[in-house]
Amino acid sequence: MNREELLKLYDSNLEELILKAEKITKENFKNEVEVCSIISARTGKCSQNCKYCSQSSYNHADIICHSLLSVEEVYKAALKAKENGATRFCIVTSGRSEQGKDFEKILEMIKAVSKIPDIHCCASLGILDEEQIKKIKEAGVERFNHNINTSKNYHSKICTTHNFEDRIKTVKSVVRNGIEACCGVILGMGETKFDRVDMALSLAELNPKTVPINILNPIKGTALENYGDKISQEEVLRTICIFRIAMPKAILRYAGGRNTRLSKETQKLGLKAGINGLLAGDYLTTKGEEIKKDKIMLKESGLEIAT
């Protein structure tokens, strides 16, 4: 659908919009939800100036920074994630890119996680070159996360140390080298509904396998610490519906912020509208939802965890 059609739908009756998105989901997916967990393998001291991020060296959030974890620590975390029902485990590092000994150590982490039965290894390592992408694929990465975060027009309001095209090029390079793309957004950073529709169109063009949908969790010490009222729960639901309509075959994943910014009732409506993936457990520097509570919510919604 084009921009004008999606904008018209965005403003349509919410109940009818949810039903339309639900119909598309049921036509393309089983009645199940894919569960993924992540680990912050290196936290803090990032050189990029993303306004939302507690790990940016430009911000002043009170977080515990640490250098690259050991391979054993990451391996044990992946085993724990599997015990909690996750079928995917993502190794995430702070920073613009990976180089040298750190990159070689990350390759060892990937190899270790990939050997765990019934766990698919994912990674989020910033901007990588073609040769690095080939190496992480060989090591065992099946899916690579690199979010567009916001719309092309709004990106410069959020970050200036890299541009929107840097992100697009990385996602295209990942897909070109045979790795599935995981590419999503952060809602509630001051963007308009026009930006949200533009995000949907940009993502649809990239055709990612999965789309993490984060809702900004304003963190004290970041430039967006007072942005807690920039998006309503209804607007989040409308965006989920538009994403489902624009990307009928993508896994839409609840990610950061949903446990603090959305009520349980709203989360259930999101599941009805098209959310069929969950980021379970803690996030990078903030607490997530307890997996046992997520399991209850999924059961109440008539959904099963994908195996």
Extents of the domains making up the chain: 3-297
pLDDT digits (tens, 9 = 90+) for 5-54: 999 999 999 999 999 999 999 999 999 999 999 999 999 999 999 999 99
CATH topology of domain 3-297: TIM Barrel (3.20.20)
Residues 267, 297: contact at Cβ < 8 Å? yes
**What pTM was estimated for this model as a whole?**
0.96
Q: What is the pLDDT of residues 178-205, one digit of tens each?
A: 999 999 999 999 999 999 999 999 999 9
Write the pLDDT tens digit of every residue in 207-224.
999 999 999 999 999 999
Number of Cβ atoms within 10 Å of the Cβ of 123: 32
Output the pLDDT for position 307: 87
Write phi, then psi, for 210 (nearest 5 degrees): -140, 150
The dihedral formed by the CA atoms of 140, 145, 146 and 150, expressed in degrees to the nearest 10:
170
pLDDT band at 56 (very low <50, low <70, confident <90, very high): very high
The count of other CB atoms within 10 Å of the CB of residue 183 is 27
Q: In the predicted model, what is the mean pLDDT of the chain?
A: 96
Sign of the Cα pseudo-torsion (106, 148, 228, 297, in order): negative
How far apart are the C-alpha atoms of 210 and 34, rounded to whole Å? 10
pLDDT tens digits along 80-126? 999 999 999 999 999 988 889 999 999 999 999 999 999 999 999 99
One-letter amino acid at 121 equals: C
Contact 190, 155 (CB under 8 A): no
Q: What angle do CA 34, 165, 10 make, to 5 degrees?
A: 55
Contact 84, 36 (CB under 8 A): no
Q: How many CA atoms lie within 13 A of 159 on its CB side?
A: 24
Residue 159 is given by DSSP the state -
Residue 171 has pLDDT above 90, yes or no: yes
Residue type, 90: C
Tokens standing for 298? 């999924």
Q: How many CB atoms lie within 10 A of CB 236?
A: 23
Res 149: pLDDT: 97
Strand 185-187 relative to strand 210-215, pairing: parallel
Which pLDDT score is estimated for 70? 97
- The confidence band for 152, taking pLDDT boundaries of 50, 70 and 90, is very high
**Among 101, 203, 105, which residue's Cα sits nearest to residue 151?**
203
Question: What pLDDT, on a 0 to 100 scale, did the predictor assign at position 215?
Answer: 97
* Per-residue pLDDT tens over the stretch 226-251: 999 999 999 999 999 999 999 999 99
